[in-house]
Structure 1
């Protein structure tokens, strides 16, 4: 009959079978020593206690692992950023399994490649970012089989093909044993989670099961995070698109408003300033207008002129040229304001430039018509014809001009192709402007002819960017006629270039002798020159043509042979020889005071005659 075991011994045996305290060698035998049991029964009881202790330890460890697993799943479920989620996922797997290295390879369904996305425990710089071609290595076995795969010795692995790049990375990292489990979202493989050691290790079913369970949780969380990221990206794209649509609608409404305003301006006879005001009000920015002179100097306007479109200048301003065909009429400059200059705003500015060109052409046409009338008035005043002067005062008053207020006349000598531009510029400071005998004539209210000449010369010179000769004179009481004053000024304008004057403002009083000699009654001048220096002119015509220039240099340098030789770049003796020839031609008394005066005037007139 089997001996009874005291209750205290049974309780002690159950305590020994608990996994909460470490087991001591021979502890069960000591507890059963006083029970009188056979040795084989003691052995059987000891074995069963050890089995119970191992099972209890296994289930306790399993409970701890499951607790850690669910804790990790809850933690991962709170993350939304995919990159942060992958890093935390690998970190938690590393803590759970306890291997040397843990890493995650992401699967690309398009190329069917895997590439190492996140690692923990690696030391080789080549391992992160490693790409695994389709069908190669342990990772491809996991993807294709959708199941865990492992090897205790990667170098000796034969169940999967090796690839040289992967083998080199594994050797550099020193990995020996590897376990890979798939990250599955339904039937879709989204990646492979690896646990690896740098020594040979046979992964137990518990380790495989634990990593697989973690991978299942992680796959769900990762897929959810990806879907949330895509949803957020789609929502952001929708918000951006809606914002862009709203901005576009707002821009179109502004453009429609500007178009309506500009149409009204055209119908009501508005001007360029009103266009700029309407454009600036609609686009909430400051709009400036450049005239053709300033526009031609602006680099952004030059680029806009070539392209026909708006051009962004330095500082963010936008410039658009105002064109009529190939003619530059000016430019609109829009400074950076509250509204961003998008395509609609740029098209609006370009439309405004077209309207500005239309209004400018209309205004220019009206201005040209008005100037033709004013030019006719000026022509009538210059003509001196009593019939044409009969009602000139009344016609002038109809244009807002009081003839009795005009005090100075300015004659401008400019190239023919620049006369129209010169006349337009001269109108800025003159009451009447017109063309007469290849010159531009302007009447001003300035009491001082010199001041009038300087003012008109300055504005025309700036507009043309070229030399301008202006000759001014005082005006008699109008409308008695203007012919004599204009003819005197034109005579000076013809003579002065021969004196080296081509870009200045002078008065007829300053050069009265030239005006008198080259005026309308100048037929006697050639006869006078002929009588005084005719023999010299004949000699030059038959020979080398050096006597008259030598005589002019001699007289122009205070009758100094040395100074004349220096001016002519010849030797003094050459000058003396030529002067000796002059004496033979003109007579020995050619240097007497009276003859010398007439000779000086004749030589100067001979030069001016050639110049005119």
Structure 2
């Protein structure tokens, strides 16, 4: 079975082949588990290939910006690649005509009608006109029925003629000015996930750079006719741009970006700072760094700002401030030099985005490995060790498993913080069943390691974090990790049941308490009450009767009906009739010792859940 599933994975077989194979295996549980693992691997491989295709397309587009001077060819390539990667039915790019107050089609890919390729939309009309007017991205899963947009008959007719339903649009921005929009459409109703919005935004950024380059070269031609010196300066800026863009093609580091930028800016000293002002690469100027006002001005405008002793330029991705490029200690920068600085900031931002993509891919692979380890779903230890080596996992001296409970609103932040902590400790982290799970080397006892992890996660979330920890095996890839994970999870459940939120505990600290409290949650208690008492509760709810109270009184009086009647202030015949009804609902065995014990426990749990004291 496993060998056949691997063959299907290798052959990139369709999902139906996997389904047919597991159906042929019948009720074999091993076959079902292998099938589930194979489907997860198939999905992971597909996502990885998709991400590689996205990055490759972005690299190809960046290469085009250095190799192609025909802006129409660049824009056509961008629109075509965007359609391929987003698997859209049609993509198109529009440019604004400010004099007319409209946005017109510049490039389309996948359009069926000539009318659509020549469409002009007044600014603010439809989704395209709204994006082109506001400079903000918009998307809709079903445009014709979306009342957020201003609908015009001739626009809706053109959209209907193309069969368009779902639309995603992002702005084209040059020097802080919206010059048009890039859109992707589908002819079926569907949502747009964040990664598709981000990808189309990246292509829009390349389109903006292409248009900006076209404008710069037009300026260059005009300046060359007027002044040779100025033309030479602009040519130098273009060469610097090509040199900086070439760094992207070779997947260079921030340090290499800093070195090249310092050279092309006449020996200036260059530093790249993160959004909080910490140095990521290069040599920052002495002192407190750029002022908040100058930084806000640069971020708002998207351009460089002159300081008392240098210049700064922001690296932006949409509305996200990725980093700041600071230049000091060099010659005064002319217009071309400041443009070069701004391009350097764009390159630095792209390097950071690419690095982030690589980190996210590693986190996904590490999370998949940890999931397989704690679920015991990977049966080949040799394969597990190979995957662990690829993640630079260092657990030969033992490990600690930690399971965290965080406030619902902080789960994403906690998951990111857990990934950073695990990566720094040469361990792994994953969000498993709604909770962050960490596997880290055991440099100390489990409780001490857990206290440090709890404190770090709480600081990252700004909220109390509850943590259950357990010592893991010396070699976690050999199949013993699921038991350690279960121990840590039971410790966490016990802490939550005891109301000890914001604490950390291991098995030694909780003893047998974790076995009593760590396995049954609200769902299990609900199931128990429903099985033992459900028909009676439903009867009381529907008929307005009081069978539950009668049962409580009957058990409290040791099964004596007359005493129960006195306790309830009713006639003994009433109690007898009610108990007969209970027998109809639960069957004759409810009075037997085992069934009666379950029924009394269910009554007690139901009473405690309702927070109403018994009479």
Which is greater in Rg?
1
What TM-score does the superposition give when structure 1 sets the normalisation length? 0.40
